[in-house]
Copies of this chain bind each other. A is one copy, B any other.
Amino acid sequence: MKDKTIDYVLRTTWLAVQKMYNEEASKFESTMATGFTLLSIDPEEGTPSTSLGPKMGMEATSLSRILKTMETRGLIERKPNPEDGRGVLIYLTDFGKEKRGYSRDRVLKFNEAIRKNVPIDKLITFYEVADTINDLISNKKIYTNEVNNTKY
């Protein structure tokens, strides 16, 4: 494993998690992204769709299609936001609340399993390294000093 690049490790580990979540979600006719979205919607009151992107770490434009699919499947309802003519409030249906419970269970179980099998200090280091990677990328410090097109 240590001879692999950092991007390889990140990529394959994430793909494994994604695959696992999608396999689990398929057991209750759902998907990973739908599950994550359900968990980001307040089950008690209208959730402004603007709040979902930041919470889930993705672009609003990516969410739009997911929400549309979720509405088609009867998991949510989109209602106009009375306080903002552009905006939308998301409401979970009873069906959506049911699926949300299943998703919540899967996410909790996965995260518990990791915490039980990884010492806390190592987990903290893992988070720190992820933070550093995100910082390096968002600060654009990697490719800025003159792009090198050397051929190998």
Interface residues, chain A, CB within 8 Å of chain B?
1-2, 5-18, 20-21, 24, 27-28, 57-58, 97-98, 100-102, 104-107, 109-111, 113-114, 117-118, 122-134, 136-138, 141-143, 147-152
Contact = CB atoms under 8 A, between A and B. Distances in A.
Given A113-B142, A136-B117, A1 B107 contact: no
B117 A132 contact: yes
Contact of A118 (B10, B27, B132): B132
Contacts of A12: 57, 134
B57 A15 contact: yes
How many copies of the shown chain assemble into the complex?
2
A42 B104 CA distance: 45
A7 B137 contact: no
A7 B107 contact: yes
B111 A152 contact: no
A133 B6 contact: no
A7 to B, nearest CB: 5
A127 B16 contact: no
B152 A100 contact: yes
Contacts of A11: 14, 17-18, 57
A128 to B, nearest CB: 7
